[in-house]
Amino acid sequence: MPEDIRQVTHIDNVRLGEDERSVVIIDQSQLPNRTVYLTLRTPEQLYNAIKLLQVRGAPAIGICAGYGTYALARQWEIRDPAAFAKEFHHWKEYLNSSRPTAVNLSWALERMERVVTEHEGQSVEELLELLGKECRAIHQEDIEMCRAISEYGLSLLKDGDGVLTHCNAGPLATSRYGTALGPLFLGKEQGMDLHVFADETRPLLQGARLTSYELQKAGIDVTLICDNMASIVMKNGWVQACFVGCDRIAANGDAANKIGTSGVAILAKHYGIPFYVLGPTSTIDLNCPDGDHIPIELRDPDEIREKWYAEPMALKEVKCYNPAFDVTDHTLITAIVTEKGICRAPFEQSLAELFR
């Protein structure tokens, strides 16, 4: 594997601290100009890291939550299993309230709590050992899922293709290769010549700060564009496919992703360009019937007014609407790429089949 690719795809963005009482993350809010590692030890530090996007990307949030609940549990002096289970549930619910849209957060937390509830009667020492195995399993499974998604996604591309992506779904947001960016890294490894257009993804600029950063560092041909430039690059014939990640997929195939994704899908439909959503099966929520039932996180209006600017770019009195995500209708999605295969319409059937 070329060294530049390895340095990006194998980045250690979320890991359990050596003392197993902390979680170490790359502070993504500081990229691309500074690479800062944070050590998270308290519930408040874990909550804020997720809420303030120091760790972000649905799979990475899930990994962080798994390690985080285990690290917290290792710190407690509780030795009564019933009291331990009660304390675990309290902090699990606290962390789960940090961000509502990404289903991987609740999925990982529920999975960790099941270790406690399904082993009722075992000692706290035994529960801690099981929790340690479970959080490591969540991480390892994501590594394997990302590789499989990358291989399935690459099968949809040919040498010389132009790909437009929105937001960030690379190794920083996941583990190893990533989801929507994974096929691009894998293609580079295999000698394919792919050209990527990365939307800046306002207001948080995750496309600019993270996606273009990862692709450039890996030696992949990337061009950064403003979000409202997607139409012209499609019209120019420079885009043969759109690859995006996802934070939650409903049972009917509606998919929540970073705000602006649905607009890209509408443009792709107009220009006849296939639009692919890539994500692990852990982001599929069969209990959610459609996109209308996906909770959409609303963030601080000042992210629009003044974040990244030396001075505010709008009057303080101006109202701002700042949803973090939107929902792309399943009718706009060509296929959903998972680690178990490529799902096509009707999605109610193809997604459900993954879990049979």
Q: How many CA atoms lie within 13 A of 341 on its CB side?
A: 9
The C-alpha atoms of residue 337 and residue 186 are separated, in whole angstroms, by 15
Of the candidates 57, 40, 60, 58, the one whose C-alpha atom is nearest the C-alpha of residue 49 is: 40
**Which residue is catalytic, options 142, 199, 247, 326?**
247
The C-alpha atoms of residue 291 and residue 74 are separated, in whole angstroms, by 38
Q: For 283, which DSSP code? A: G
* Strand 255-258 versus strand 325-328 pairing type: antiparallel
Exposed / middle / buried, residue 125 (Cβ in 10 Å: 0-12, 13-18, 19+): exposed
What percent of the residues of the chain are helix, what percent strand, and what percent coil, each to the nearest 5? 45, 15, 40
* Strand 255-258 versus strand 248-250 pairing type: antiparallel
Other CB atoms within 10 Å distance of the CB of residue 227: 17
The C-alpha atoms of residue 243 and residue 336 are separated, in whole angstroms, by 10
Residue 210 has φ and ψ, to the nearest 5°, of -115, -50
- Do you know the residue count of the chain? 356
Instruction: State which H helix or E strand residue 65 sits in.
Output: helix 58-75
Q: Using DSSP, state whether 154 is helix, strand or coil.
A: helix
Token look-up 């030890």 returns: 41
Q: Among this protein's residues, is 247 annotated catalytic?
A: yes
| Residues designated as active site | 247
